[in-house]
Structure 1
Amino acid sequence: MSTPTEQLTAQGVSIWLDDLSRERITSGNLTELIATRNVVGVTTNPTIFAGALSNGHAYETQVAQLAAAGASADDAIFQITTDDVRDATDIFRPVYDATAGVDGRVSIEVSPDLAHDTAATIDQAKQLWATVDRPNTHIKIPATKAGLPAITATLAEGISVNVTLIFSLQRYAEVIDAYLAGIEQAQAAGHDISTIHSVASFFVSRVDTEVDKRLTAIGNGVASTLKSKAGVANARLAYELFEKEFATDRAKALTDAGANVQRPLWASTGVKDPALPDTLYVTELVAPGTVNTMPEKTLEATFDHGEIGGDAVTGAYADAHALFDQLASVGVDFDDVTQVLEDEGVEKFIASWHELKDTVAAALSNAPEIAR
């Protein structure tokens, strides 16, 4: 009997772990998850690194060495995180080779402080790519208005990109356009476009959290029946848009020339409401050619009791459209929902980034003298 994670893989879903730490790398845990949980990639963000650096002793020696060298908190963060990502990409290299570069990917994010600065985002994306120096890296860039031209410019350099913090279909359409423009520019510059990969990270559970809060405030019986449905419906409509946009003449001209499609990635798949099934954002979003990046708790729940059927997305478009008509009819302004979520997402990552900087600055100042 196959495991649920094997079944998910068989349905064309790539399982990525939404977590990374040095302890996972050095203990063999990451290798074990590849072997036993069908994990074929990793995503990181400032919150994840803040948590990793705050716990345990895995970074003490390197922090002491960096303190001895007079490194600033920013320099130390850059060194520590790129080292972790490089080591993780080496662990995933066999997966990368076996999947012709599709999987075996590890994402590292540009500083959230740069979310509204196009030029600085491009510069840091290039710097991260050159420093990690592994082909199976993804540089993570948020899908803010300033991020869109940075996504295009980074792809145009032949750099693979994970576009993060996507909430609305309108912004997703702009992300796809930015991707296609980047591949067109890379092609014109003579890059081998078959080696450039990208995912578009569509956030799921946060949509339900915000919409359900508004439905509770509306308070009528109809509104209560619509709770905990918007996140899945929104993601399903994103997949509908993905199918449509990558069937255009523009996209087909690129894929015919060897380009890859930009795969949809389901992010924020940990259930926030304890009343909901803990595998909801996995089992309800099974679709071929997608990525589901899971926190470990969701991964283990899926492995333990996930009920994986076939494609749960492409036959559900009409119901998803109907749900959004119902949300509008009870007074939920979904455009406002997605703008609030994007703004909050950037703010949360900035807060985590500053927490990370404070943690590293304290560690540097308290580093033992032995390495100095």
Structure 2
Amino acid sequence: MTTSAKERTAAGDVPVWLDLQGGVPAAAQLRSLIAGNRIVGAGLGPDATVATARRVCDTFRTAREEGRGGQGAVVLSPTVSPDTEAAELVRRAASLADRTDRPGTAVRLPSNDAGLTAMGVLLGRGLPVHLATCFSARRYEQAAAAYLAALERARADGHDLGGLASTVAFGLRPLDLRVDALLDRAGSAEAKALRGTAALLAARLAHRSADRIFDAGSPAWRKLAAAGARPLRLVWAELGGLAPGGGDPARYTAELVTADTAVAVRPGELGSLAGLRPRRGRPCGAHEAAEHFDACLDWFGIGAQDVVRELEGEPGTPAPDRAQVAGGVA
């Protein structure tokens, strides 16, 4: 894999979660990526060997020790399927982390019910988690609740909470593609005018939930934060090759990325973040806009539950062969 000098530095101040599932750059190139960008984490695919995982972990550790960045965890990806049960998720994730045998690792879990259960167990063992991929604010809130409960138990047991910082990937383009197809099926001009709306609304609601749950004024969170805990970071993921409504591919990140979130990109895609800066403040009216959007979906006969569960890999969910779009954006 080759990476140009322009791509190595293009992201600037935008927090980046480096997606290495398509391949891992050579050591020198990876060091340049870490040094030239604000990398807050990196994720390996299930095909990555233990030797590769160790090399990436060692590169990140060296960068941290030299003060050159690379503060986030390296995410290991055990081979699992949507119907893998929680106990088996725990076993496979822990086994992969043990075989890799490097500090600064996290493990990837599905964002379904089994994944959230496994998350609590693994955090209790001192292993951070990256949930991939959720598509609704409701699922993020469930993940945050599991995270907080695990942190409370860890604090009571006297564990250091600083090393348990975890992340949740929030998928964008797949949700828009699914909802847009259903709106096209509805056929009216009014329905088609809503295309490219679902993902941004869902993401804004998730961001609002994060602000509320991890607010510094919350007594429960203040105690955890004082013990070193960090909020469950949202990672905007699966932007896809097309943007909402077929417009500028950077629209998702331009409207969503802030200093406390991150955007998942592959090494060769860093140029897409050129010129962007973390957004200050939050868009207003997200909840009202989402309620209006859900009401419109209902009007066009589009439901709001099964499709998000199917996208998130919840076992037992039928394929969405009828006009359903799950979870709503709420």
Shared topology, TM-score over 0.5? yes
Equivalent-residue separation in structure 2 for 1:221 and 1:139 (angstroms):
44
Q: How far off its partner does 1:165 sit?
A: 1.7
Relative distance call for 1:20 and 1:138 in structure 2 (3 A) is same
Relative distance call for 1:285 and 1:91 in structure 2 (3 A) is same
- Contact 2:80 2:89 (8 Å CA) reproduced: no
- Please tell me the residue identity of whatever aligns with 2:186: I
Q: Deviations over 1:113-159 (max 9, x none)?
A: 37531111111222222222222211111111111111000001111
CA RMSD of aligned residues (A): 3.0
- Contact 1:165 1:345 (8 Å CA) reproduced: no
- Please tell me the residue identity of whatever aligns with 1:139: V
**3-state SS of 1:138 partner:** strand
Overall identity of the aligned pairs, in %: 29
- Cross-structure match for 1:369: none
- Cross-structure match for 1:181: 149
- Contact 1:211 1:337 (8 Å CA) reproduced: no
- Cross-structure match for 1:257: 227
- Cross-structure match for 1:59: none
**3-state SS of 1:153 partner:** helix
Matching of residue 293 in structure 1 with residue 258 in structure 2 = no
- Contact 1:269 1:295 (8 Å CA) reproduced: no
Equivalent-residue separation in structure 2 for 1:288 and 1:23 (angstroms):
26
Gaps of 5+ in 1: 50-79, 348-372
Equivalent-residue separation in structure 2 for 1:322 and 1:101 (angstroms):
42
**3-state SS of 1:112 partner:** coil
- Cross-structure match for 2:323: none
Please say which of residues 96-105 and 264-273 is displaced more in the overlay: 96-105
TM-score between both structures, scaled by the size of structure 1:
0.73
- Cross-structure match for 1:30: 30
**3-state SS of 1:226 partner:** coil
Equivalent-residue separation in structure 2 for 1:343 and 1:22 (angstroms):
24
- Cross-structure match for 1:167: 135
- Cross-structure match for 1:121: 89
- Please tell me the residue identity of whatever aligns with 1:280: R
Please say which of residues 84-93 and 30-39 is displaced more in the overlay: 30-39
- Contact 1:283 1:312 (8 Å CA) reproduced: no
Compare CA radii of gyration and give the structure with the larger one.
1
Matching of residue 267 in structure 1 with residue 237 in structure 2 = yes
Q: Deviations over 1:316-356 (max 9, x none)?
A: 52444443443333333232231221238999xxxxxxxxx
Please say which of residues 335-344 and 166-175 is displaced more in the overlay: 335-344
- Contact 1:216 1:223 (8 Å CA) reproduced: yes
Q: Deviations over 1:169-189 (max 9, x none)?
A: 222211111111111222233
Matching of residue 218 in structure 1 with residue 176 in structure 2 = no
**3-state SS of 1:252 partner:** helix
Alignment partner for residue 302 of structure 2, among 299, 307, 332? 332
Equivalent-residue separation in structure 1 for 2:315 and 2:169 (angstroms):
13
- Contact 1:115 1:144 (8 Å CA) reproduced: no
1:53-72 matches, within 5 Å, as none
Please say which of residues 100-109 and 246-255 is displaced more in the overlay: 100-109
Alignment partner for residue 276 of structure 1, among 241, 247, 261? 247
